[in-house]
Amino acid sequence: MPPRSRSGEASGALKSDSASPGREQPRQRVIEAAIDLLTREGRDAVTTRAVADAAGLQPPAIYRLFGDKDGLLDAVAEHGFATFLAGKHVNPDPPDPIEDLRAGWDVAVEFGLANPALYTLMYADPTRTTSGAFKAGMEVLMGRIRRLAAGGWLRVDEELAAQIIHATARGAVLTWLSLREDRRDPALFTTLRESMVTAVTNQRPAVREAGAAGAARALRAALPEEATLSPAEQHLLTEWLDRLTADG
């Protein structure tokens, strides 16, 4: 089976936002109409005329609100990122940081499986990763990674860990969606998730086992909360720690 929902985090299906006054109300209607067409009939069905008809507007309204079809698709993708972010439950002090990492990975996969057409649109264009909601979601992930580093669990650099976690979740979903149903094996998810955990974390938070690089990563993660060092001292210490983690 695909990863099960944990702590009510998975979105399942997209929910409509409450209508806001003025310009946002027709804008939201258009986005929801586009998502409905995308979900039921695929990306080719999302034309400006079809979306305008479904939203009860004239086609010129689409151009006034979004500029062009690409602008509309960008808005739909941004809505998807925002919906996923709103459905996340973040524990700032999880009892088990590695299990928290697994849970977050599962939630990302579950969202993609529940919203396949939207998820594919969200990640079809690399430039969409510059959206505000996407960046906010990555900050949630970086928070998980920093907690792992501070506890001595992180095995690799924080940035590399984020790339591995994000790539394995996105790759798992897009690979699953690309396969015929008779070729889909749920072991794909658990195998990729556990491979990700093995790649980015230590089995035990033992600084001795991880060596100087592990100690440096743990200290590096705690630096933003350190108030006794001057900015210049923090900068110099960061350079030293980065060198140690690179050597490790």
| Among the listed residues 77, 36, 76, the one whose alpha carbon sits nearest the alpha carbon of residue 56 | 36
pTM for the predicted model, two decimal places: 0.74
The number of CA neighbours under 13 Å toward the Cβ of 124 is: 15
The pLDDT score that the predictor gives to residue 237 is 66
Q: What is the pLDDT of residues 26-77, one digit of tens each?
A: 999 999 999 999 999 999 999 999 999 999 999 999 999 999 999 999 999 9
| pLDDT over 50 (residue 8) | no
127 in the same domain as 31: no
Q: Write the DSSP assignment of 109-132 as a string of letters.
A: HHHHHHSHHHHHHHHHSGGGGGSH
200 in the same domain as 210: no
239 in the same domain as 216: yes
| pLDDT over 70 (residue 12) | no
Any idea what the CATH number is for the domain that residue 181 is in?
A: 1.10.357.10
Q: What is the pLDDT of residues 136-193, one digit of tens each?
A: 999 999 999 999 998 889 989 999 999 999 999 999 999 999 999 999 999 999 999 9
31 in the same domain as 140: no
Q: What is the pLDDT of residues 92-123, one digit of tens each?
A: 889 999 999 999 999 999 999 999 999 999 99
Instruction: Give the domain extent around 231.
Output: 206-248
Alpha helix stretches (DSSP H) within 115-248: 116-124, 132-150, 158-178, 187-200, 207-222, 231-247
The pLDDT score that the predictor gives to residue 245 is 65
Kindly report which listed range (23-27, 84-88, 164-168) carries the lowest average pLDDT score.
Answer: 23-27
Per mean pLDDT, which of 14-18, 23-27, 43-47, 121-125 is the most reliable? 43-47
The pLDDT score that the predictor gives to residue 220 is 62
63 in the same domain as 83: no
pLDDT band at residue 10, thresholds of 50, 70 and 90?
very low
Contact 104, 144 (CB under 8 A): yes
Q: Is residue 1 part of a domain?
A: no
164 in the same domain as 86: yes
Q: Is residue 175 part of a domain?
A: yes
Taking the C-alpha atoms of residue 100 and residue 150, their distance in angstroms, rounded to an integer, is 15
How many CB atoms sit inside 10 A of residue 57's CB? 17
